[in-house]
Structure 1
Amino acid sequence: MNHIKQAFVILLLALFIEPVLAKEPLVVVVNKDNPVEQLSRSELIDLFMGKYVAFPNDIKAIPVELNSDHQIKIEFYQNLVGMPLSRVNAYWSRLRFTGRKRAAVFKSNENDLIAFIAANKQAIGYVPQSLITKDLKVVYILNE
C-alpha cells in the first residue's frame, strides 16, 4: 500500500513539474522582409517601453502587443524587463498622463498578431517559438 502512495505522489509531482520543464521560449519576430536581422535586449526594451520608435536602421517600428493580461504578454515583460505586467501598465499610465502616446498595436490572440506582422514590414512582436511561420523572422529569443 505504501508503494501505491509513493507512486501517486511521484505522478502528481511529475504532472506539476512537467509544464515548467516543457515551457518553450518566447521569440521576438519581425516581418520576413524587414532588413533587421537581430536586436539586442536593450534595443527591444527601448522599442517596447517607448524610448525609441524606430529600428536601429531608423525605419519606423510598430510594436504589436497582445491585449490586456494575456499569459504570453505577462511572460514577455517578465523576461524582457524583469517586471510584472502591472508595473509595465503603471509605467505606460504615467507616460499617458504626461501626454505621450503608445505607438503599439494591440491584438486579441497570437494568430491575429502573427497575421499583422506578416502583413506589415515595420511590425515587431512576440510569440511562442512553436508559432513561427515562414512569414516571420526571429530577431531575438527570450527565456531560452
Structure 2
Amino acid sequence: MLLTLSFSVKGEDLVLVVNKNNPTSILKKTQVIDLYMGKFVAFPDGSKAIPIDLADGSETKATFYKLLVGMPLARVNAYWSRVKFSGRARPPLETDSQDETIKFIQENEFAIAYIHESNVTDDLKVVYRFDE
C-alpha cells in the first residue's frame, strides 16, 4: 500500500515531478534533499538527474526549501555560494516560471522539479509529495 501525503501552498499541493518516461517512480525526502543540495547528481537507478529551481524571488521556491530542509531561502543561497566556491557541486538550473519548468521537463527525461499539483500534465509523473 502506497501512502501519499501533501502540503497545501495557497490551496494547491506542491509536488516533485519528472518526465513520464523517467524510470524513477518515487523518491524519499532524503533523496530529494541530496539532489537539491548537491550531494548526489543521479536518480536511484544511477541515471543523471537535472534538478530545476524556480528563479530567486519566487514564493514557491522559498516554500519548497523551507519544507525540504527547514531553511529560509537566504540560508540556502548562502549554502550554495560556499559549495560553488569550493567546486564540489553546482546548484540546480533555474527557470523563470512553472510553465518554463514544465516545458523543460517534457523535453528532458532526467529533469526533476517542484510545481503546483494543479500544473501536472500527462507528460509528467509525480515522484514526491510534501507532508505538513
TM-score normalised by the chain length of structure 1: 0.82
What SS class does the counterpart of residue 25 from structure 1 fall into?
strand
Q: Which residue of structure 2 aligns with residue 40 of structure 1?
A: 28
CA positional deviation for 1:21 = 8.6
Q: Show structure 1 runs of 4+ deviating over 3 A.
A: none
Matched, 1:137 2:113: no
Unmatched 5+ stretches in structure 2: 1-7
In 2, the alpha carbon distance for the partners of 1:122 and 1:21 equals 26
Unmatched 5+ stretches in structure 1: 1-19
Q: Which residue of structure 2 aligns with residue 76 of structure 1?
A: 64
TM-score normalised by the chain length of structure 2: 0.89
CA positional deviation for 1:103 = 5.1
Contact 2:19/2:125, CA 8 A, preserved across alignment: yes
Higher helix share: 1
Identity between Structure 1 and Structure 2 (%): 50
In 1, the alpha carbon distance for the partners of 2:65 and 2:9 equals 20
Higher strand share: 2
Alignment of structure 1 residues 106-117 onto 2, 5 Å: 106-117=94-105
CA positional deviation for 1:38 = 0.1
In 2, the alpha carbon distance for the partners of 1:103 and 1:60 equals 14
Matched, 1:125 2:113: yes
